[in-house]
Amino acid sequence: MAKNSTSSTTVPDTAWLGRGRHLGPEPEQDVRRNLIALKAAGVLDDFLDLDPVEAARSTVLHPRDETADPGPSARRLFEARWRVADDVTVRAQLTTYDPETRRKEGEGVTWVLAAEAERAWDARWPSPVTMFWPDSDRVPWDHDTVADLRLRSTNHLPKDDDELRHLLRDCTRLSWFIHVVVHEAMTPDAAGQQPVSTFLPPSLRHRVVEHRGTPEQAQIADFAMKRELSVRMPRGGAVILPVAPQGQEYDAERFTVRSVFLDGSEPTELLERIKEFAALPRPLPADAERALTRLRQGWHLLTPDEELVHAQAMVAKYAEALDAMTKSRDLYQEAAEAAMAALKEAGGGDAGSRPPAPGPAKPEASPLSALTKAFHRFRDPNK
């Protein structure tokens, strides 16, 4: 799941996509508990807990579509439906995966979440992640698949130059999240150590990974970013990293903030730049495109109205199939009757109703007699 390629399309404005890792011992159980609690509280309309193999076999909307199969490493598939802004329905699928390799203990379980609303996504809506995972520090679902980065915390940059440049490349090429680097002009107190993402709207809060550079890392961070990404790291400021491939809409100067006060106050300018960056067209990774296709074409959690429409569509399909079978049967019967008529015509009519012709047999046997002799040879194995 860590490898990633990019398709030629961009993320739809109706979608919310995320991919991370859960490092706890019971990831699926954490999801179940949260779904049950939210449904009981009336937050969710409904949810499903599905085995991925059975889910692929019983795909409701497109039963023969291979995109409904989440893959051999899938562990569990969860679906949830809820409403926002009173009447806007959101549908979401969370799939958990075994990691491709287990390089170290505690690598955890990879998860992919795709959510889509009936209209353009509003950052003020509840975060789809918190519909599946509990928003608690005690549940470690919030790790990025890149390195050991966390969503709801600050992540200090590596001290080594090579490690830093490798991290920057992975963050821009492999991660699905928005990466923000903040340089600490001086070591902040407890209030300043609070992530800036806590000030963001709910749906944007869990899309941001925040990196921190210590006061002595200003020069090394600036050099690495300039070399790898063609962006600069201002001392005591912040920069939002581009994604690869970098689009024409990204302006390094526009998404660089010269001064960020880490004193617990709301960093208004940086927050506005993050919101602006999040609104830019974003390349749709191939894995994300497959997850979004599965959400659209492999959906199981239907409303009563959707079930009625689906049943009517299935009746129509069965009627078409039955009609095709009936026509095929009639055509087969017509072909059989035509073949029998041709045989009779080739044999000169019904041989049993005519007396045998007198005289010696002619050298040229009739087609019917040739056919009869052939049947006799099959019946007598000695001939």
The answer, yes or no, to whether residue 362 has pLDDT greater than 60, is: no
Name which residue leads in pLDDT, 347 or 51.
51
Residues 225-229: what's their mean pLDDT? 94
Q: Does residue 357 belong to any structural domain of this protein?
A: no
Q: Does residue 381 belong to any structural domain of this protein?
A: no
| Same domain, residue pair 136 and 212 | yes
| Same domain, residue pair 320 and 190 | no
Residues 34-50: what's their mean pLDDT? 97
| Same domain, residue pair 245 and 328 | no
Two structure tokens written together for 283? 């390349």
| Same domain, residue pair 333 and 190 | no
| Same domain, residue pair 110 and 138 | yes
Residue 333 lies in domain: 306-350+366-372
Q: What is the pLDDT of residues 95-139, one digit of tens each?
A: 999 976 554 556 799 999 999 999 999 999 999 999 999 999 899
| Same domain, residue pair 229 and 325 | no
Q: Does residue 360 belong to any structural domain of this protein?
A: no
Q: What is the pLDDT of residues 284-318, one digit of tens each?
A: 999 999 999 999 999 999 876 666 665 666 677 76
Please tell me the pTM assigned to this model: 0.79
| Same domain, residue pair 148 and 296 | yes
Q: Does residue 137 belong to any structural domain of this protein?
A: yes
Cis bond leading into 201, ω under 30°? no
Number of domains in the chain: 2
Using 50, 70 and 90 to split pLDDT, how confident is the model at 8?
low
